[in-house]
Amino acid sequence: MMAAEMVIDVRGLTKIFDGRKVVDNFDLRVPKGSVYGFLGPNGSGKTTTIRMVCGLLIPDSGSGSCLGWDVLTQSENIKKKVGYMTQKFSLWEDLTIRENLNFVARVYDVPDLEHRVAETLEHLGLSARAHQLAGSLSGGWKQQLALAACMIHDPELLLLDEPTSGVDPKARREFWDNIHELADRGVTILVSTHYMDEAIQCDYIAYIAYGHKLIDAPYAEIISQVGLYTWRVEGAGLSQIARKLKENPQVEQVTRFGTALHVSGQDEAALQAAIAPWRDNPELHWYQQESGLEEAFIHLMNTTEDNFQ
């Protein structure tokens, strides 16, 4: 089997602001055509890393390539082949949808501009709204417009920084449908998010916190690599049980999920011993389940130090 082509291959990326390492010795390899998720809390260094990868920010140390170009010396070449969607809507609200796309297309010197704009409007379902001012759009439609602007020059790499922040679940679902369609066409996508339910949409996931990469693996391997065991319990008196379990050093996490508790730890035998006093209670329903991304993420967060302390 042929080795996958790496669109991003960087090593040791480090960025320092005001004496603090916002990103510390970061390695990243992203295969062509994959959807690669950056998962982490706000302020974890995701945006800074993305900007270094695409040539918008020069790292203080480290090396590597993006789309075959050197991230240190050939950033202008990288920018021409990248679409970058920021967390905050960054197009012109006093221009129409069509005027925004026309302007961005001219910046990238897109050939056959009018046809390309019309094609983009049609593909993303924006044709009927082409003459609507961008500032009057809902969050979901602004998101569609921002994605259209990112793709107007047919980039090979799409960088999305918290792209679904502030939009409703339906708009988020439609957005991810578009993302997977682009990946099927061979576009490589690096997306940062702090939504666990979005992370499962990704082929690969890198957890990042306090500027450090905590884990980096295919989505299907994340849980097994973390090595966390979880029990779920439903029934009466969960708040009291939660307080008792949190006092037990063998229990790493006790988290409420609606009408249930998730109880997690790394030592399977010790975890079973911790919950044993409540296992025979007929009013409680216990069963073991695979740990989720949220449990894995909290566990990983507990293993690293805040670089701002």
Express each pLDDT in 66-94 by its tens digit. 999 999 999 999 988 999 888 777 889 99
pLDDT for the residue 63: 93
Region for residue 218 given its phi and psi (left: phi exceeds 0; alpha: psi -120 to 50; beta: otherwise): beta
How far is 136 from 94, CA to CA, in rounded Å? 9
pLDDT for the residue 138: 83
pLDDT for the residue 304: 64
pLDDT for the residue 305: 59
How far is 12 from 249, CA to CA, in rounded Å? 36
How far is 276 from 272, CA to CA, in rounded Å? 6
Residues forming beta bridges with residue 109, ordered by sequence position: none
Q: Which amino acid is at 65?
A: S
Q: Which amino acid is at 68?
A: G
pLDDT for the residue 199: 83
Question: What is the edge-to-edge ordering of all strands in the sheet holding 260-265?
Answer: 253-257, 260-265, 229-235, 284-290
Structural domains in the chain plus CATH codes: 6-223 (3.40.50.300), 229-290 (3.30.70.330)
Angle at 148 between CA 113 and CA 130, to 5 degrees: 70
pLDDT for the residue 183: 92
pLDDT for the residue 306: 56
For residues 162 and 188, the answer to whether their CB atoms sit within 8 Å is no
How far is 188 from 232, CA to CA, in rounded Å? 37
pLDDT for the residue 13: 94
Parallel, antiparallel or unpaired: strands 6-17 and 20-31: antiparallel
Mean pLDDT by 10 residues, the chain (309 residues): 75 91 91 90 84 88 93 90 85 92 92 90 84 87 87 92 78 86 92 81 89 87 88 93 92 90 93 94 93 83 60
The H or E element that residue 149 is part of is helix 139-151
**Per-residue model confidence as pLDDT tens digits over 152-178:** 999 999 998 888 777 778 878 888 888
